[in-house]
A and B are shown apart, each in its own frame.
Chain A
Amino acid sequence: MAITLKVNGQSHTLDLDPATPLLYALSDDLALNGPKFGCGLGQCGACTAIVDGQAIRSCITAVKSVEGREITTLEGIGTVAHPHPLQEVFIEEGAAQCGFCINAVIMTAKAFLDKNSQATEAEIQRAMSGVLCRCFTHTRMLRAIERARQKLASGRGAR
């Protein structure tokens, strides 16, 4: 059936089984590289997208349930030329190894920081507790998120 998805500010009408997980529409039909299939079970975070300000696991979210809502992917928060403060500090900190989990980490952190700009390091860590990085780049990533929080809180990186 025809499903209309609003992704990164653009509407797309796609012919989909309404039970199709959002991830497949994003990565296959819309050819986006940000959200990724990690487990298909909502356990690792690789597929994270932001829907109406909330980080969701797109691998277990049916397209029908997000029709008409604001869907944002990693591609939608910044570009190489104009990166989001989180993307900027991840580059500065060299906070990646293979990089497969980057989408999980940055999108989860963004949805959290947007609502919790005064969060403590312990609160950030708790917010990231459902996200995996199998290369274990944890130290750099958490340092990068804290730096991005400071930038965002002081308005320096506001977008």
Chain B
Amino acid sequence: MKRREFLRTSGALIVGFSLSGVKMRGQGGPVEGAPPMNQLDSWLAISSDGSVTAYSGKEELGQGIATAQAQLIAEELSVPFERVKLIYCDTALTPDQAYTSGSQSHPANFNHANLAQAAATARQALLKMASDRLGTPVAQLSMKDGSVASKIDPSRKVGYGDLIGDKRFNLVLDPNAPRKPASEWTVLGKPVPRPDLPALVTGQFEFVHNVRLPGMLHGRVVRPPSPEAAVVAVDESSVRDVPGLKKVVVKKNFIGVVAEKPWQAMQAAAKLKVEWSAGPPLPSFAQYHDTLRKQPSRDTLMVNAPDVTEKLARASATLTATYRYPYQMHGSMGSSCAVADVQGEKTVIYSATQGVWYQRSTSAMLLGLKPENVRVIFRRGSGCYGLNGADTVTYDAALLSQAVGKPVRVQLTRKDEMTWENYGNAFTIDERVAVDERGSIVAWEHESWSPGRGNRPGPGTPGNVITGYLAGFRPETFTPRSPAPEPVGFNNNSNAIPSYLAARVNGAARGTGKVDSGRVLVHGVPSPFWTGPLRSPARLQNTFAQESFMDEIAAHVKADPVEYRLRHLSHPRLIDVVNAASKAANWQKRPSPGLGGASVARGRGIACVAYEGDNGYSAMVAEVEVHRDTGAIAVKRMVIATDCGPVSNPDGLRNQMEGGALQGMSRALSEEVTWDGEKITSVDWRSYRSLPLGFEIPKIECVLLNRTEEAANGAGELSITVAAAAIGNAVFDATGARLRHAPFTPERVKEALKA
């Protein structure tokens, strides 16, 4: 710890640093004060006993990345997996890698930069040191089990602890330090079990919910009845008789209570009488998707071929369809929790945030403190899938701790978690294509409307989540812009550009498909509710629309859905996952719909995606049964093929594929945020339906294409992105009914069956 403190204050040059041009898309840059990204000592330390400590800015959320990162270090440094300790996301210790999000951890730390390159640099340094020590040329040395030995006389060896133990490397990351080739891997690429499991299954694991500090008090918050309601009066006498109550805290529209025990805080929060002003009414739930089209919007053109309109006008056939996707919740199993200890100027915060550095800078804003006096330490929370209440409850704890000068733990109620989290965005999407006389697509128009308000807090926007807003900060500003400027460069980060487009921008075709003419227009509109990235944000919704629509076009021209996709794709890796999934599923070539059956109809559907355009590839074949009388869908089988470059841990990857597929199924079949004229009405697990363990679970089969010659891509959002379209397409194949409005509730299925 002392050594790390020294590192932080030793005046080393702090620069934004990228060794190989690996993109850190949407991930921001290092914040001032973080251990410098280009210094080996920021990433790795070797102790005198030869054990290795690695420091990472990418945290374990349940996705298995901690295990994979430890494997990476063990592999590159030739030390046993058990001798690697990984410390991640502590603003006093670890490099600032912005967020752990967006399927960026695998690309960020497993390619030729950051953690992987630090390990490769250390490997070269250790070889050089051993060469000097043993008087043997580097070429005649090999590394094994934490030692460097002579290949000629293996008895001549020296341990890493003897070479560098407890001392600094004082080296800059070397972009030319060679990585160990995948053909030599013995730890990386293997199904190493997660080391956190024994503690998890025996109740020994410490979540952020289990952080207990001496003298810690318990806080609860009192949220407004509707998004824009404001505090008129707070009657503190209403809670005077609640035992253990320490303080009622009011800061603008933020209200919280602090008590000795959690149950007392719960009672005080429930009893506190607050008069709120009425906010404006909420837009109609039933009409909401059409309302989106009528808002002031911020327009962005992603692709704008000059001949789209003409091609659509002259086509032998055109097809049009509109898809609707609801707001959905992260809906964490455990309501969010944080512990803050604000002692005057000095603050320590335990948080499940996905961005400790930005949590630090924004907490400091909220508390009126200098960021360097705030330390944020990540502790795992309940699975978050993007932006649950972790950031907002951290602000709650910080504000309440500051008000009482003691450590305070805050956990949200289920209702507050579900009412005030940053929902995954709703979408209304129009798709339109022109088809030529041979049945091939010659032009594709994609136009979407999606509401947004707030986001991750980022380095300076605490108002992006509810607590910051209640305490007086604004969310990031919405500036309408219409018409959209011409696209300046290719960017398919949101998968707004259909996979089947060649997507010419500035002359170069950067898309994954063959269709030469396309227009992609995206409208951002204001949202009455807070929104934020929910696993596969925008990509899932766009893929649902595009892959369902592709199926509609194939059906229109009576083509097999797999064959029709392949006919319009150009990207070999995307083609390969489509082939791999359809082969593993024993896909029978024929157009949809098939002969599904009378009362229970059976069908199969496919969907595919090049995630973010080039950050992982997946295809899924879903097989379903549709009960025509009840409208119920039973998914029987899901076959998923994925390619995320080199597979770092096949068991971890399968776990992500399986979980993503079922989470995608739950979102496709039953999850939807609802509201009435004034408030959110999906506030618990009865009103927001998540498929429980008892749900009929499909057989899931994973095909992992292991591409060791490619760069590491994202993996966590591959299977979830294609689930809704694959299921919807299978329902069409079974029944001829097209589902264009998610979730596919029995009512919507019955409606589609009648259409």
On A, residues with C-beta under 8 Å from B are 17, 20-21, 24, 27-28, 31-34, 36-41, 43-44, 46, 73-75, 78-80, 83, 86-87, 90-91, 94, 96-103, 105-106, 125-142
Contact = CB atoms under 8 A, between A and B. Distances in A.
Contact of A20 (B203, B263, B380, B414): B263
B-side interface size class = 35 or more
Contacts of A103: 203
- If over half of A's interface residues share one DSSP class (helix, strand or loop), that class is named, otherwise mixed; here it is loop
Contacts of A74: 201-203
B659 interface: yes
A129 B693 CA distance: 5
B61 interface: yes
A21 B693 contact: no
19 contacts: A28-B261, A39-B335, A41-B685, A43-B684, A73-B203, A74-B203, A83-B201, A91-B193, A91-B198, A96-B62, A98-B380, A98-B381, A98-B382, A98-B383, A98-B384, A99-B201, A100-B207, A128-B693, A133-B693
- Main SS class of interface, B: loop
Given A37-B335, A75-B203, 16 more contacts: A37-B209, A38-B334, A41-B414, A90-B197, A91-B201, A94-B194, A96-B194, A97-B62, A99-B196, A130-B692, A131-B693, A134-B332, A134-B385, A135-B663, A136-B666, A139-B700
Contact of B693 (A43, A80, A87, A138): A138
Contacts of B61: 98
B5 interface: no
B243 A17 contact: yes
Nearest to A82: B202
Contacts of B62: 96-99, 135
A37 B334 contact: yes
Interface in B647-691: 651-652, 655, 658-663, 666, 684-686, 690-691
Given A74-B202, A91-B201, A128-B693, A33 B382 contact: no
A74 B199 CA distance: 11
A128 B694 contact: yes
Contacts of A34: 202-203
B63 interface: yes
A33 B692 contact: no
Nearest to A24: B263
B695 A36 contact: no
A132 B685 contact: yes
Query: Which 9 pairs between the two chains have the least Cβ-Cβ distance?
Result: A129-B694, A98-B62, A34-B203, A98-B383, A136-B662, A74-B203, A99-B200, A128-B693, A97-B62
A139 B334 contact: no
Contact of A80 (B193, B204, B661, B695): B204
A94 B197 contact: yes
A139 B333 contact: no
A97 B66 CA distance: 12
Given A24-B261, A33-B203, A138-B695, A101 B333 contact: yes
B212 interface: yes
